[in-house]
Amino acid sequence: MMSIFIFKEEHSLDIYVRPGDSLWHYSQLFGIPLQLILDSNHGINPQSLTVGQRIRIPGFITTNYHIKSGDTLWAVSQKENIALEGIILVNPQLNPYYLYIGQIIKIPKRVTWRIINGKQDYDYNLMTNDIGQLLAVYPFLQTTSIGNSVLEKNIPEVQVGSGNKKVHYNGSFHANEWITTPIIMTFLNDYLLSLTNHTPIHGLSTFPLYQQTSLYIVPMVNPDGVDLVLNGPPANETWRKKVIEMNRNSEDFSGWKANIRGVDLNDQFPADWEKERARNPKKPGPRDYGGEKPLSEPEAIAMANLTRKRDFAWVLAFHTQGEEIYWGYKNQEPPESESMVNEFSRVSVYEAVRNIESYAGYKDWFIQDWRRPGFTVEVGKGINPLSLTQFDTIYQKTLGIFLAGLYL
Ligand SMILES: [Zn+2]
């Protein structure tokens, strides 16, 4: 798999309006759906473009080309497989009749490869860097911060799609289940690739999904915890001492699920929180401690606030492991939860499980308070943290779930 880095926004494809141009014309010229160009240029009025106005074209980057002996723009356009007009558009100052050897011109290049690599130890920095790269190439994405972690990292949310149906996916509620973050990010990248290249996934055209659905992704709910598992304790000596003590004086954090204060974020929600507390540890530690009260932790508060604000039709929380999908909560789930989980199960071969002895989780709270479908998807098999050797298998099995979450 080819991978490239786009360090700055300037490398994405910007063009400048000429007299008589229209977004429709750009859509035809670059083969990008008009809706995606509109959504990449918020605040512009497509009926009255101004000459010289900057327009961002999604799904393309610009590369430099060095003019060689005998080159004409036509020859370059043939060689680079890009419309001649596209080259002229990104080089507005260029005189096509006066090229010289060694001259550098810009070439629009259609992005047909993944720009992120999820198959690595995927910490918070990698994720934020990847979100920045995706934004540069796919400006129809929108991102916001839903709040800060205990160690004051922004928790990003990425939105894709322009439909009325609002769907939410999240990953890494649990620190040592961090593989769910690069799995979700890889799906996001593949969805974007499919949209701008008109390439179906599993035989499914994705542009209708974009039009029907707004997908809201929080790829890493627990950034401090993920970084603790992957990179060890924070440099700050006070925090370092604290987490090692909570970890029973061990510096092996592979069993750590909680946030940096030793609170399990998926035991923090006001859905029989007291019952969950009764069966769990009473003090902070690597896992299962639900805090002194529901929603005491900033990461859980951020998720609760987001969920209240967005009014999601359904939510999918990705965890590891077990290859199971939990879909019920005290018979409060709506009837469509069952048909939905059957579809998720069919496409992933994961087992649908209605109820388990567990409370105070995010999906429990969502089902309880909204009476809408909520799911916990337990990906992969083995001992957490799952090895990256499982990455491809997990992705292959969950891809259908990601898609079904949009088409259902
Ligand atoms: Zn989990």
Is pLDDT above 80 for 11? Answer: no
CA 219 / ligand 1 centre spacing (Å): 14
**Which pairs from 235-240 meet CB under 8 Å and 24+ separation?**
239/151
Structure-token pair, residue 4? 């490239």
Which residue numbers are catalytic?
A: 359, 378
Q: Residue 10 pLDDT > 80, yes or no? A: no
CA neighbor of 129 nearest in space, from 55, 219, 235, 216: 219
**Interval 264-301: pLDDT, tens:** 999 999 999 999 999 999 999 999 999 999 999 999 99
Ligand 1 center from residue 319 Cα (angstroms)? 4
59: tokens are 């799904």
Q: What DSSP character marks residue 387? A: P
The pLDDT tens digits of the residues spanning 61-109 come to 999 999 999 999 999 999 999 999 999 999 989 998 899 999 999 999 9
The alpha carbon of 210 and the centre of ligand 1 are apart by a number of angstroms equal to 29
End-to-end CA distance of the chain: 31
Amino acid at 306: L
Strands 104-110 and 142-148 turn out to be unpaired
Looking at the DSSP bridge assignments, the partners of residue 375 are: 316
Give the global pTM.
0.95
Distance 178 CA to ligand 1 centre (A): 9
**Ligand 1 centre distance from Cα of residue 202 (Å):** 28
pLDDT at 9 over 50: no
Give the E-state strand segments of 98-183 in sequence order: 104-110, 142-148, 154-160, 165-171
Strand order in the sheet with 54-66: 12-16, 54-66, 104-110
